[in-house]
Amino acid sequence: MHAGDQIRFKAHLDRIDDKGASTTGVVQRSTDGGEHWNDVGTIQLMFSHVDNNMSGLEFPEHNFVFSGSFRKLLADAGLEYLYDD
């Protein structure tokens, strides 16, 4: 990125229901005041709704989503403040 560059985020909700949701998105950058946009990143996210009552299964009380490898990824990016130890 350089001074004057612009970025924008586009997101699309692909699916949403009682079990979860999925979304896709793109990050774009313009270097000429918004005349032309170039894709610089994409993302696909899936969200799952976990409910002990719906599944009949027992889930741990601790945060099992932020595994050790995901925590390392956050820490390497300087984002370790996003999770609790």
C-alpha dist (Å) from residue 11 to 21, 41, 44 = 13, 12, 10
Residue 53's pLDDT is 62
Tens place of pLDDT for every residue, the chain, 85 residues? 678 889 999 999 999 887 788 999 999 999 888 889 999 999 998 887 766 666 666 666 665 565 677 778 778 888 777 766 5
pTM above 0.85, yes or no: no
Q: How far apart are CA 22 and CA 80, in angstroms?
A: 25
**Phi and psi of 47, rounded to 5°?**
-115, 135
How many residues are present in the chain? 85
